[in-house]
Structure 1
């Protein structure tokens, strides 16, 4: 089983932390980086190969990870000279990938079973399976609905519920074959295209632990929670 880990972004929302360290190498707890945790989990779930798509401060990631031997993984690299979006780096290495593979952001903390996601995708055979999570967003304002200048509804500080992408996907190579390598391609563009296809994307609904470390508040929360969630994230490590 093969995973592509997207680790090339500049992590601008996490500055100033990421001015000298790429986001996947940010420390969580006293022993691990984010990338450490992800690679441990992939190995625990039976993955044997991973490709790291690197760009910003990529030499630091390459130095830290090496060939992946300490995690029991065979790791290679795809270097972005310019930003290519979420899916663009995958297109450049498509000929090196099996028919079904995992793509994930390098800044996600979750106890999602990556193997189950990929195996479900292989059974169902959609073009892409998106891991999703129920997210509540509390609005700190009174929300108005208006029509023709008149207020027709009002809700005080509502809580909105959304199913959001977790930044983890199982993808079939054949679904990406029509796209030319070397050009930027975002997940949003791919999803828009896929929604118009005869076979639409599938959802893998998840209800466990998930945290996208995109902002300083998220990073602080990850460290505050790590001792509690470590047994779920790193079984036996």
Structure 2
């Protein structure tokens, strides 16, 4: 079966089921069709995440978030013509339809010129003291703690590498020699690794002011104590589609108020809601920044990433939020570390691979 036929979905398919189709196909895209395969719209991972931010339920039909006016081409042209269209318009996929808008084929990026290695830099913040994980971090930096059979930081690097990102900068401070001795220049992992050595605490963004060269393209910044199954290619696509100066990954967080919540209108009691559950989005510690955003980072000073986003928003720059739906764990306390070790087998081992 031609691979594009794997991503044809009904307009009544739920967001949740559509996400499964997109993830399983690895094509980052699905086409919404009627029973005769006439194209009704398209949907990307970014379309779904923007719908989630608007409050659209995962059980809602995909037609609520699909793009009803996708870029497409009619049949009858040579393949070279379609390739030129995709290159000129920087498309990752191009539906080709007949006069009745029935899909004849869908062309993808790798039908044109597949580029496995991406030039976007990944900056990993690995200089923290890990005080909340003591005594585990008395003699080892937190990113070097082993989860499964390898350091947290190695799992992060391998995850980025699986999506074609191979240029890394590690910001190190506490016990930095252990990180540098282990990873060296990245050759053994098939990547390129450089280092920024902090001589003092610079927060989650301050070390960016010490970059020797300004990145030429949007770049990632990520805390070095996170485990996640995020698709970094989808994150970058979302950032570019949003035309944002900076994108922050967010995670839905639920909390319950342990009391009855009272609503009043002056002295009049309007309602009592017993122990309500509230949902909100919280910072997940993963970011994509345009190179221009570095102008707002003070040189060699303590500066956290939320401070950068506040400045960008305050100066009228576009900032975007990317909602995570994948596995994500911030290893901040001993209980988190124990959970990460248990989760590793089911989330990070390839089929047939054994841990340790």
After superposition, the Cα gap between the structure-2 partners of 1:153 and 1:56, relative to the gap in structure 1 and judged at 3 Å, is farther
Name 1:122's counterpart in structure 2: 240
Name 1:3's counterpart in structure 2: 122
After superposition, the Cα gap between the structure-2 partners of 1:55 and 1:137, relative to the gap in structure 1 and judged at 3 Å, is same
Aligned-CA RMSD value: 2.5
Q: Distance in 2 between matches of 1:53 and 1:151?
A: 55
Name 1:88's counterpart in structure 2: 206
Give the ranges of 4+ consecutive aligned residues of structure 1 lying more than 6 Å apart after TM superposition.
150-153
Name 2:137's counterpart in structure 1: 18
* Residues 169, 193 of structure 2: 8 Å contact kept: yes
Q: Which has the higher contact order (CA 8 A, sep 6+)?
A: 1
**1:68-147 correspondence runs (5 A):** 68-93=186-211, 95-139=213-257, 141-142=258-259
Q: Distance in 1 between matches of 2:277 and 2:200?
A: 39
- TM-score, normalised on structure 2? 0.60
Name 1:60's counterpart in structure 2: 178
Deviates more, 1:69-78 or 1:152-161: 152-161
Q: Secondary structure at 2:286's aligned position in 1?
A: strand
Name 1:34's counterpart in structure 2: 152
* CA-to-aligned-CA distance 1:56-80 (integer Å, 9 cap, x gap): 1111111111111122110010011
Name 1:48's counterpart in structure 2: 166
Structure number with bigger Rg? 2
Cα shift at 1:194: 1.8
* Residues 243, 318 of structure 2: 8 Å contact kept: no
* Residues 99, 174 of structure 1: 8 Å contact kept: no
Count of matched residue pairs: 233
List alignment gaps of at least 5 residues for structure 1. Answer: none
Cα shift at 1:26: 0.8
After superposition, the Cα gap between the structure-2 partners of 1:146 and 1:33, relative to the gap in structure 1 and judged at 3 Å, is same
Q: 1:180 aligns with which of 288, 298, 301?
A: 298
Q: Distance in 1 between matches of 2:322 and 2:288?
A: 10
Q: Secondary structure at 2:165's aligned position in 1?
A: coil
